[in-house]
């Protein structure tokens, strides 16, 4: 059996075959294998429905049962053009017109023929297990100026049990979808009236964000960082100096004119930090200098790739820049690695993949500086005995980097942390320090982000915990519930005491059944519920119930508060 990509690409051809049988008017675009599956794009006037997918699956099974061989044919490009023009396959014609080879390959299975480089499996009958998953709109070639096509996603496996496991995994992914949970738990929203990719933080989400920010700020003060705030716009020339207009233009918005001068909404915080360093005379004794900022930046993302909190157009980076002497680089990278892994562990991420990204095709600076900075990053990883893979050509234009991809509860990797060494911006902005020899020297700049962006990191946290955040992060840590109206006064007393001690608490004293109140609080994933009834009032105690349903029994309010404060201060992950 050929590799899984060949197998899945062959399944996409069977799907296209089935679509053409059922919907002859559909025009074919492309159908590659992708991670965990495949897709095929079709130009069809009426969008595919779930009922259509069921019919397509049925037709695919009939094609598989026929066990048609996949037959490769090589014909002249001109003959292929003629054939696809006669068929009205305008997308295949467009692809052919860009091919310069005199001959092209086609693949046939039964009465279906497609333009394809291949390879394919031997025959359709070798496809053992598949499932069509969803339909989405997709611009032809990813360009918003082109027509919107219908993309059918699917997956296939050689073992039916593997397909079953994968579909169960997708169900779990669906349950954890941060967009659904964000709405259900009233954490955040987006709306077309404000703009795609722009996040509105609701009170509960904002509470979690503030908790994250406070933790971040406190730990940065401990680690010797000074915090900054920088403007949201700056003169366009600033971004010309930094190199962003040359290397990052596609991700930047169009400049605006103010008083006859072009300004740009900021895609990065780095140039501002460089100017803070430059604002005073610096000595070798001052270094390293560490600046940190929770800075909101704006980057253009195509509408087709926007995805809840994970791909947005405005986001807040947990950004920092370290200015140091060359002899300090290794120690600073080691410190940042320790700091990064500490932060990730505190949020419950202890599994990750690490990549060392090297010089890209388009870059600035000398090869010598690139080699020195790459070696410094590599040495630090080796000293810490951290396993890593090299990712050739994936560095940023101004320097190499370490990327850390955390793995969530479903073992999915997410790009979060990055550490980058930069010899180039200090030169571009002409920043210097006075060395021990009395001469001017150029500092090294280290860019780093621990969480990446607050929006993306929050989305990952939602999915990692399926919305059931650890106690220290939960927007509501305790909810006080009464069984009857006569328990209200005592419940309010408990509620006030918890609030006074800094516990994020809500109270439900409405005249509803206790089962209903417990169910509502559990749906909102509140970590602890306090039940107040006759016994609790009489004994001046509280009954505590975890969101898991486990009952912790009768406790004094002060005893419970001390227990909570200890868990919160320790930032325990488990309840």
Domains plus CATH for the chain?
4-176 (3.30.980.10), 188-464 (3.30.930.10), 478-570 (3.40.50.800)
Of 8, 92, 120, 317, the catalytic one is: 317
Question: CA 546 to CA 569: how far, in whole Å?
Answer: 19
pLDDT for residue 33: 94
Of 114, 151, 270, 448, the catalytic one is: 270
**Which residues, given as ranges, of the chain have pLDDT below 70?**
1-2, 575
Of 17, 120, 321, 464, the catalytic one is: 321
Q: Does 324 qualify as catalytic in the annotation?
A: no
Report the length, in residues, of the chain. Answer: 575
Matching residue, tokens 């559909």:
26
Question: CA 129 to CA 144: how far, in whole Å?
Answer: 34
The torsion defined by the Cα of 449, 221, 502 and 207, in degrees rounded to 10, comes to: -20
Q: Does 317 qualify as catalytic in the annotation?
A: yes
Q: Does 178 qualify as catalytic in the annotation?
A: no
Q: What is the pLDDT of residues 317-334, one digit of tens each?
A: 999 999 999 899 999 999
Half-sphere exposure of 286 (CA within 13 A, CB side): 17
Distances (CA, A) of 99 to 90, 102, 415, 553: 15, 8, 36, 74
420, with CB counted inside 10 A (0-12, 13-18, 19+), is: buried
Write down the pTM of the prediction.
Answer: 0.89
pLDDT for residue 1: 40
Of 9, 176, 401, 504, the catalytic one is: 401
- Tell me which residue of 408, 188, 422, 139 sits closest to 315, measured CA to CA: 188
pLDDT for residue 185: 97
For residue 304, the 8-state DSSP code is G
Q: Does 499 qualify as catalytic in the annotation?
A: no
For residue 125, the 8-state DSSP code is G
Q: Does 338 qualify as catalytic in the annotation?
A: no
Of 41, 52, 114, 319, the catalytic one is: 319
Q: Does 299 qualify as catalytic in the annotation?
A: yes
Of 447, 448, 517, 545, the catalytic one is: 447
Of 178, 220, 244, 299, the catalytic one is: 299
Q: Does 319 qualify as catalytic in the annotation?
A: yes
């Amino acid at each position: 059996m050929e590799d899984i990509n060949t197998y899945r690409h062959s399944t996409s051809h069977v799907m296209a075959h089935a679509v053409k049988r059922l919907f002859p008017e559909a025009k074919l675009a492309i159908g590659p294998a992708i991670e965990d599956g495949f897709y095929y794009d079709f130009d069809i006037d009426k969008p595919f429905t779930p009922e259509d997918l069921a019919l397509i699956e049925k037709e695919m099974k009939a094609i598989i049962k026929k066990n048609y061989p996949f037959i490769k044919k090589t014909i002249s490009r001109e003959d292929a053009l003629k054939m696809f023009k006669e068929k009205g396959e305008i997308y295949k014609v467009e692809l052919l017109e860009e091919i310069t080879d005199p001959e092209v390959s086609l693949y046939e299975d039964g009465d279906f023929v497609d333009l394809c480089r291949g390879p394919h499996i031997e025959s359709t009958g070798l496809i053992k297990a598949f499932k069509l998953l969803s339909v989405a709109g997709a611009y032809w070639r990813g360009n918003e100026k082109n027509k919107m096509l219908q993309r059918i996603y699917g997956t296939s496996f050689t073992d039916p049990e593997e397909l079953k496991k994968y579909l169960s995994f997708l169900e779990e992914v669906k349950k954890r979808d941060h967009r659904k949970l964000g709405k259900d738990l009233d954490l955040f929203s987006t709306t077309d009236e404000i703009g795609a990719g722009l996040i509105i933080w609701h009170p509960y989400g904002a509470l979690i964000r503030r908790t994250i920010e406070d933790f971040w700020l406190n730990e940065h003060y401990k680690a010797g960082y000074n915090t900054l705030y920088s403007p949201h716009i700056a003169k366009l020339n600033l971004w010309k100096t930094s190199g962003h207009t040359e290397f990052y233009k596609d991700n930047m918005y169009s400049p605006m004119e103010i008083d006859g001068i072009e300004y740009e909404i900021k895609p990065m915080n780095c140039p501002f930090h460089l100017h803070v360093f430059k604002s005073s005379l610096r000595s070798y004794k001052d270094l390293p200098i560490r600046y940190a900022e929770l800075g909101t930046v704006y980057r253009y993302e195509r509408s087709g790739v926007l995805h809840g909190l994970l791909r947005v157009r405005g986001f807040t980076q947990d950004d920092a820049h370290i200015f140091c002497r060359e002899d300090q680089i290794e120690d600073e990278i080691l410190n940042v690695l320790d700091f990064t892994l500490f932060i990730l562990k505190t949020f419950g991420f202890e599994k990750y993949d690490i990549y060392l990204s090297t010089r890209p095709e388009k870059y600035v600076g000398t090869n010598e500086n690139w080699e020195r900075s790459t070696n410094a990053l590599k040495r630090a990883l080796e000293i810490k005995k951290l396993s890593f893979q090299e990712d050739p050509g994936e560095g940023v234009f101004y320097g190499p980097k370490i990327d850390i991809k955390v793995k969530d509860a479903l073992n999915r990797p997410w790009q979060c942390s990055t550490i980058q060494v930069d010899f180039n911006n200090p030169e571009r902005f002409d920043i210097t320090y006075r060395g021990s020899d009395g001469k001017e020297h150029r500092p090294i700049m280290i860019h780093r982000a621990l969480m990446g962006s607050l929006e993306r990191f929050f989305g990952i946290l939602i999915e990692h915990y399926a919305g059931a955040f650890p106690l220290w992060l939960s927007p509501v840590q305790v909810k006080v519930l009464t069984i009857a109206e006569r328990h209200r006064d005592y419940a309010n007393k408990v509620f006030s005491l918890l609030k006074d001690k800094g516990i994020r608490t809500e109270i439900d004293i409405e005249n509803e059944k206790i089962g209903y109140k417990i169910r509502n609080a559990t749906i909102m994933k509140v970590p602890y519920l306090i039940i107040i009834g006759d016994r609790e009032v009489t004994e001046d105690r509280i009954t505590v119930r975890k969101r898991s349903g486990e009952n912790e029994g009768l406790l004094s309010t002060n005893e419970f508060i001390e227990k909570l404060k200890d868990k919160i201060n320790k930032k325990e992950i488990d309840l």
